[in-house]
């Protein structure tokens, strides 16, 4: 058997000597050093070099030194694709967001990055731009990289997305929504509750004719989370026996300052007597406030305004914007904290499969008690 092997090897050696550069369409640039090059230079086995990176304490100081020097002279950077293939651990965590332009989603990314850094995972971020088809595409792209966990935004997924996610075999976290029946885990808050909270806040202050502004939808883009907020808002008004038809859905997501200003204009045209408005996002609220200034409508006297998100600008406005805050960076961090034990192979704690990070009403200057 031994002899047979030798023969095969020699035959192989002959062929491979012929073709030096295997793939001409390979990325250009001088060939990178491999673990093999390092091992030769340091006169150790490849395994020793591997251990140098994964478990340096196992090496004898002298060996460690030789390897370190070789690594340095060759400017060796281990190839994680090869490592992943062999160890069956990619070191990736996939994060799929609607958009990065929203600073709250960016905060999620930052929080998650921070939480997973000590474990040496790398984030693989994708964004959908609120396009419905894009989520599927992104999930497939991600799955091809064999992430060790997948974090998606929201609870609404196409059938195919849901199928891909439930079959993917790694932990899945649904972010920023709390589905009744999560695919796997969920970390978030209730968007519906936020709408309700906004409506109740406005009613409690004595506002009478209350409207809302959110994003519309097109054939290929939706903002499910904003829509949930509007729904909660309508519910609260209805169950209080109030008018709940003053809900403007304007423009395609994401909602911007400008869309907020326009949305308010639409609302005022619909019902000039509106005395308070909830906008699905602070950005729209700020836009609405600017529109008020242009129209000489006093805030909060002429119009009460409440937003969502507690974006940085909210507290800085004059008057400062009343809003509902969610700690998005914390959301990301919590997600990381839920995932880390799972990635270490520990079983999921049943209580941590659905984490509500809650929300907080930040009453500031744009809402105030109305004189009856």
Footprint of DNA on this chain (CB under 7 A)?
Answer: 5, 8, 11-13, 15-16, 19, 21-25, 31-32, 34-36, 43-51, 53-54, 58-60, 62-64, 76, 78-79, 82-83, 85-89
The piece of 143-151, 274-282, 349-357, 362-370 that touches a second copy (CB under 8 A) is: 143-151
Q: Is 26 in the site for a second copy (CB under 8 A)?
A: yes
Q: Which residues are paired to 127 by β-bridges?
A: 97
> Whole-angstrom Cα distance, residue 242 to residue 196?
13
Residue 62 binding result from a second copy, DNA, none, given CB thresholds of 5 to 8 Å by partner type? DNA
Q: Does residue 11 interact with a second copy by CB under 8 A?
A: yes
**Chosen from a second copy, DNA, none, partner binding at 19 (C-beta under 5 to 8 Å by type):** DNA
> Contacts with a second copy in 160-199 (CB under 8 A)?
164, 167-170
Angle at 59 between CA 53 and CA 64, to 5 degrees: 70
Q: Which of 17, 19, 20, 30 binds a second copy (CB under 8 A)?
A: 30
Residue ranges of E strands in 38-85: none
CB atoms within 10 A of CB 302: 13
C-alpha–C-alpha distance, residues 245 and 225, integer Å: 19
Identify which of residues 11 and 240 has a Cβ nearer to DNA in the complex. 11
Report the nearest approach of a second copy to the CB of residue 361 (Å): 21
**Can residue 220 be called a binding residue for a second copy (CB under 8 A)?**
no
- Name the minimum Å distance from CB 247 to a second copy: 23
CB atoms within 10 A of CB 102: 21
Interactions with a second copy, residue window 334-353 (CB under 8 A): 343, 345
Sheet holding 360-362, edge to edge: 247-249, 210-214, 276-279, 304-308, 322-325, 360-362
Question: Is 19 a binder of a second copy (CB under 8 A)?
Answer: no
- State the Cα angle at 352 between 350 and 354, rounded to 5°: 100
E strands, 216-357, are 247-249, 276-279, 304-308, 322-325, 354-356
Question: At its nearest, how many Å lie between a second copy and the CB of residue 340?
Answer: 14
Decide whether 21 or 371 has the Cβ nearer to DNA. 21
In the complex, minimum distance from the CB of residue 18 to DNA, in angstroms, rounded to a whole number: 7
State how far the Cα of 199 lies from the Cα of 210, in Å rounded to an integer.
Answer: 8
**Which of DNA, a second copy, none is residue 58 near (CB under 5 to 8 Å by kind)?**
DNA
Bridge partner residues of 164 (DSSP): none
Q: Coil, helix or strand for 24?
A: coil
Using alpha carbons, select from 139, 37, 19 the residue that is nearest to residue 79.
37
Q: With CB cut-offs between 5 and 8 Å by kind, which of DNA, a second copy, none does residue 35 bind?
A: DNA
- Closest separation in Å from C-beta 64 to DNA: 7
307 sits near a second copy (criterion: CB under 8 A): no
């Amino acid at each position: 058997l031994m002899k047979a092997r030798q023969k095969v090897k020699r035959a192989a050696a002959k062929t491979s000597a012929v073709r030096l550069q295997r793939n001409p369409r390979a990325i250009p640039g001088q060939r990178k050093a491999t673990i093999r090059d390092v091992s030769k230079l340091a006169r150790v086995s490849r395994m020793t070099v591997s251990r140098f990176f994964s478990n340096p304490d196992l090496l004898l100081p002298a060996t460690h030194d030789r390897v370190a020097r070789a690594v340095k002279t060759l400017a060796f950077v281990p190839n994680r694709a090869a490592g992943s293939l062999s160890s069956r651990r990619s070191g990736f965590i996939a994060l799929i967001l609607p958009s990065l332009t929203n600073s709250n989603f960016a905060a999620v990314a930052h929080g998650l990055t921070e939480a997973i850094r000590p474990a040496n995972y790398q984030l693989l971020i994708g964004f959908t731009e609120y396009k419905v088809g894009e989520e599927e595409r992104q999930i497939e792209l991600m799955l091809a990289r064999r992430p060790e966990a997948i974090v998606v935004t929201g609870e609404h997924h196409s059938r195919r997305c849901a199928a891909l996610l439930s079959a993917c075999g790694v932990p899945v976290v649904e972010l920023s929504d709390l589905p009744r029946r999560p695919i796997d885990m969920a970390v978030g808050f209730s968007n519906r509750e936020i709408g309700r909270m906004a409506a109740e806040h406005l009613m409690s202050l004595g506002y009478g004719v209350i409207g809302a502004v959110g994003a519309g939808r097109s054939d290929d883009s939706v903002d499910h989370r904003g829509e949930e907020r509007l729904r909660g808002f309508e519910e609260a008004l209805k169950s209080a026996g109030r008018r709940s038809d003053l809900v403007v859905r304007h423009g395609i997501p994401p909602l911007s300052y400008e869309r907020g200003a326009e949305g308010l204009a639409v609302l005022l045209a619909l019902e000039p007597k509106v005395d308070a408005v909830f906008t699905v996002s602070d950005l729209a609220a700020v836009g609405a406030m600017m529109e008020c200034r242009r129209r000489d409508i006093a805030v909060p006297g002429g119009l009460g305004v409440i937003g969502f998100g507690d974006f940085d600008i909210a507290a800085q406005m004059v008057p400062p914007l009343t809003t509902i805050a969610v700690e998005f960076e914390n959301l990301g961090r919590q997600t990381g904290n839920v995932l880390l034990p799972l990635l270490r192979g520990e079983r999921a704690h049943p209580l941590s499969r659905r984490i509500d990070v809650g929300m907080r009403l930040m009453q500031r200057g744009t809402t105030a008690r109305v004189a009856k």
